[in-house]
């Protein structure tokens, strides 16, 4: 998605060869015009999947997920992250380990909002190792619902998440794919638009 690539080139900062800082438009300050375009793009790509709900994870997935759900005219749920839980019986819960942050969090969604037979689109801001997306997929599968697609705003293609999700049979669409990062350099890879087989 050219608009997103241009924004990353203008306002993204490669903090190291591993981490891209995009707090000017996605992770802290949010650009609503860009988010609206991202929502339209994901909706166009996944409309044929007859999505019934969008699922993301707090906090930075919420903006693109809401704009996508607005276009698809379906509700959006954001999974909550918390260290300890008191009301487990009303929640679908999965552990998610972040290699980037080196911490494990417990991710949960209320059973009130996710049902068997639903067709769920996962949206997230970043894809690195795929742990968050796999955790959300396990929650969807716990509910007896279907993962109908995974939409990622920025995929770090030099990390294994995208390939692992595709190998597991999920349809992954990333709007920007980063091939490599270096001091002062951001190199894009071709977009991922593969279909599960
Ligand atoms: P994974 O789910 O693909 O395995 O990713 P990982 O655990 O490595 O990432 C954990 C957190 O770090 C996520 O945010 C993710 O968005 C973020 N992250 C990973 N790589 C980058 C990067 O290069 N740049 C930026 N800006 N963020 C990155 P989170 O903990 O869920 O936080 P948030 O959603 O509240 O921002």
pLDDT given for residue 183 in this prediction: 84
Instruction: Please identify, in words, the CATH class of the domain defined by 2-188.
Output: alpha beta
pLDDT given for residue 195 in this prediction: 46
Ligand 1 center–CA 177 separation, angstroms: 15
What is the C-alpha separation between 144 and 65, in angstroms, rounded?
21
pLDDT reading at 186 higher than 60: yes
Protein residue closest via CA to atom 28 of ligand 1: 126
For residue 153, what are the CA distances in angstroms to 39, 112, 139? 10, 28, 21
Protein residue closest via CA to atom 6 of ligand 1: 98
pLDDT tens-digit series, residues 158-185:
999 999 999 999 999 999 999 999 988 9
Q: Within 10 A of 191 (CB to CB), how many other CB atoms are there?
A: 15
pLDDT reading at 196 higher than 70: no
Q: Is 181 exposed, middle or buried (0-12, 13-18, 19+ CB in 10 A)?
A: buried
pLDDT tens-digit series, residues 69-95:
999 999 999 999 975 556 566 999 999
pLDDT band at 190 (very low <50, low <70, confident <90, very high): confident
Q: Contact at 8 Å (CB) between 141 and 119?
A: no
Pocket of ligand 1 (CB under 6 A): 19-22, 27, 57, 59-61, 98-101, 125-132, 156, 161
* Whole-number average pLDDT of the chain: 94
Helix, strand, coil shares of the chain as percentages rounded to 5? 30, 35, 35
Ligand 1 center–CA 100 separation, angstroms: 7
Question: Residue 2 in 3-state DSSP?
Answer: helix
pLDDT given for residue 197 in this prediction: 38
pTM for this entry: 0.94
């Amino acid at each position: 998605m050219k608009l997103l690539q241009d924004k990353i080139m203008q306002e993204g900062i490669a903090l190291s060869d591993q981490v891209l800082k995009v707090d000017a438009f996605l992770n802290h300050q949010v650009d609503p015009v860009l988010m609206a375009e991202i929502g339209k793009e994901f909706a166009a790509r996944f409309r044929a999947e007859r999505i019934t709900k969008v699922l993301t994870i707090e906090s930075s997935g919420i903006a693109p997920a809401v704009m996508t759900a607005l276009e698809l005219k379906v509700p959006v749920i954001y999974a909550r992250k918390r260290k300890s839980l008191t009301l487990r019986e009303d929640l679908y819960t999965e552990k998610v380990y972040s290699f980037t942050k080196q911490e494990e969090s417990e991710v949960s969604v209320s059973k009130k909002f996710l049902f068997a037979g639903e067709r769920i689109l996962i949206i997230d801001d970043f894809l690195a190792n795929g742990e968050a997306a796999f955790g959300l997929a396990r929650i969807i599968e716990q509910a007896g619902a279907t993962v109908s697609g995974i939409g990622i705003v920025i995929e770090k293609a030099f990390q294994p998440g995208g390939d692992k999700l595709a190998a597991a049979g999920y349809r992954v669409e990333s709007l920007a794919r980063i091939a490599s990062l270096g001091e002062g350099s951001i190199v894009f890879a071709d977009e991922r638009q593969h279909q599960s087989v």
